[in-house]
Structure 1
Amino acid sequence: MASRQRTLEQERGNHAWQKVSDIQDKSFRTEYRALVRKLPSHIMLTGLGQTLAFLQAKAGSGSNEHHALERHLSEWVVQELTGKALKESGYSSLLLWILNAQRTTDDYRRATSETLAYVAWLKRFAEALIPENSL
């Protein structure tokens, strides 16, 4: 008898599908698609903390795609790391969770690994659901 318990990969995929599906009808969908496609290399090049700071800076200057992506990452990764929804975790973003003085190098590595695993799903669904030159 097959187990009905959902795997972590299934949960990641489901969450990413919902988030990208929500973006499909937004005016910034093409920019979101381009941003999420570049994100893994950005994380590997500059690190997770710097990447999140970049997303927040751009979001603060009115960039909807940066804000949406930062929210998607924060909601999923903080929930996976704390076992609580973002709103219930005591943190307003993944960046603030990382910057907490009690975080260890292992915590940072785990956050980076989880973020990259989640971004892989976001990237695939963005490529599938959002046409490259959609207006």
Structure 2
Amino acid sequence: MNNTIQKIEGGRAGFAYQEVKNSIASLKKTDEIGLYASYLKRLPSMIHVNGLGQALAFYYTKCQVKQYALIFASINHWLHGQPELKIDRNQHLLESIVEMNSDNYRRITTEVLALLNWMQKFATGMHKDREGGTPHIITDKENAGHE
């Protein structure tokens, strides 16, 4: 993987980790965290079936539910913080998506799916951790015997 891609992916992963960590801290209860992780897992499928605009509009209409609001806010924060995506910081995210050309729409869709991939992984792991089901982390020494 070239250095530029590693930087982009690393930045995305770091952002996703902090967003999920903060979201889970604000939710507190295990069942609330489970719903958050579940809503994160559903969103990529919704995007593939309905398109980014419709999927995000659905999550936006559900923002009275904290988990949906947290997910929408994370995506909004990430996209508005990426100058190369050319999303107007003074414009609502959904308005920007509706007005963009098809090339940029595809680019934004790919970016959101990549972000959600990281967020799902972290949310699933942190949810399991809260439930006391953290998987055993294999050390280098243990791994050496299985190569």
The TM-score by the shorter chain falls in which range?
0.7 to 0.9
Aligned partner of residue 91 in structure 2, secondary structure: coil
**Over residues 31-88 of structure 1, what are the superposed CA-to-partner deviations in whole Å (9 max), with x where a residue is unaligned?**
11100011111110111000011001111xx2111111000011112322138xxxx8
Amino acid at match of 2:66: N
Q: Give, in angstroms, the shift of residue 133 of structure 1.
A: 8.5
Q: Alignment identity in percent?
A: 28
Q: Give, in angstroms, the shift of residue 24 of structure 1.
A: 2.0
The structure carrying a bigger helix percent of its residues is 2
Residue 125 of structure 1 is matched in structure 2 by 122
Tell me which stretches of 4 or more aligned residues in structure 1 moved more than 4 Å: none
Q: Distance in 1 between matches of 2:104 and 2:36?
A: 28
Residue 95 of structure 1 is matched in structure 2 by 94
Q: Distance in 2 between matches of 1:91 and 1:126?
A: 29
Segments of 5+ residues of structure 2 without an aligned counterpart are 132-147
Q: Is the 8 A contact 1:58 1:66 kept in 2?
A: yes
Q: TM-score when scaled to structure 1?
A: 0.81
Q: Is the 8 A contact 1:78 1:97 kept in 2?
A: no
Amino acid at match of 1:96: E
Segments of 5+ residues of structure 1 without an aligned counterpart are none
Residue 55 of structure 2 is matched in structure 1 by 51
Q: TM-score when scaled to structure 2?
A: 0.75
Aligned partner of residue 128 in structure 2, secondary structure: coil
Residue 21 of structure 2 is matched in structure 1 by 21
Number of positions where the alignment pairs a residue of Structure 1 with one of Structure 2: 123
Q: 1:110 aligns with which of 107, 111, 130?
A: 107
Q: 2:69 aligns with which of 54, 67, 79?
A: 67
Q: Is the 8 A contact 1:33 1:132 kept in 2?
A: no
Q: Distance in 2 between matches of 1:113 and 1:10?
A: 16
RMSD (CA atoms)? 2.4
Q: 2:43 aligns with which of 36, 39, 45?
A: 39
Aligned partner of residue 19 in structure 1, secondary structure: helix
Name which one, 1 or 2, has greater alpha-carbon Rg.
2
Q: Is the 8 A contact 1:49 1:98 kept in 2?
A: yes
Amino acid at match of 1:127: T
Q: Give, in angstroms, the shift of residue 131 of structure 1.
A: 2.6
